Amino acid sequence: MKELIERLRAFAPAERVLENEPMSRHTTFRIGGPADALFFPANADELARSMRVVDELGEPCFVMGNGSNLLVRDGGVRGLVICIGEPMSAISVEGATVRAQAGASLARLAREALDASLAGLVFASGIPGSVGGAVAMNAGAYGGEIRDALARALVLDSGEAVWKTADELHMGYRNSDVLRRGMIVLEAEFALAEGNHDVLLAETNELARRRREKQPLTLPSAGSTFKRPEGHFAGALIQEAGLKGFRIGGAQVSELHAGFVVNLGGATARDVLDLIAHIQARVKETSGVTLEPEVRIIGEA
């Protein structure tokens, strides 16, 4: 690990190459043990160089965005974690086309589209993720999905930067070839439509109101804990199983929306994992439906 740190710091300042960094500082769950090394690349070149270093040294590597859909186990993450964030977050608007680097937040992307009176990204205005993560998992909410607006994405595929369309990425429900094949999103291009600013603003405000009323926005979480099972809603199944408000340690099924597991303060990853397992068992028992986690789980126990 010492050699990995030294080689990264040969082309990036020490403040962007951290050792034994608690991942609880970098996930919206506010949970997670330390990463052996955490790197914040400033551009695509640094990202590619860091990938070459881990390949040459045989170190494991995980790439993340802003950690909004991530649970890191208490033992932390071995090897290198690459966090694509603020240094790679430029957004540009040309006509009805919006281009955004992977580190840009979805909220900012939706705001830029709104400011330009462009329709197609209102649904994304309250999703607490980055553009790269959103493309990778085809993020969605309130009937919209990233693939609906995505024209193409620049991805690092087997060390080569290539543009791929949404169809070529085979984007499905909370999945894509980015995840299936271990690609890294560098930037994305969205094809939007001209809209009425006042109408778009009203729609954005309405979705914000609905989120405030129905989602536990004041507590740390990773968003919706489970994928939507076909023909059902996870939150409804969990509530019907009598688990709303149920807790293990510092982890609780939200009292506001049963589809969210929240950190009441001091929750460990073990608390969350035990709660997820309990929810799955109870829902299976009461409804016969198997719930599959939407949150990504990494690291060592």
Active site residue 294: yes
CA distance 256 to 248: 17
Please state, in angstroms and rounded to a whole number, the distance separating the CA atoms of residues 221 and 257: 12
Quote the CA–CA distance of 212 and 166 in Å, as a whole number: 31
The answer to whether 50 is a known catalytic residue is no
In the numeric block, the tokens 């199944």 are attached to 237
- Our answer to whether residue 224 is catalytic in this structure is yes
Residue 148 CA to residue 232 CA, distance in Å, equals 22
Among candidate residues 89, 125, 224, 254, the one labeled active-site is 224
| Short-list 275, 282, 281, CA closest to 251 | 275
Residue 276, sorted as left (phi over 0), alpha (psi -120 to 50) or beta, turns out to be alpha
Phi, psi of 54 (to 5 degrees): -65, -35
- Out of 89, 130, 174, 254, the active site residue is 174
Active-site amino acid positions: 174, 224, 294
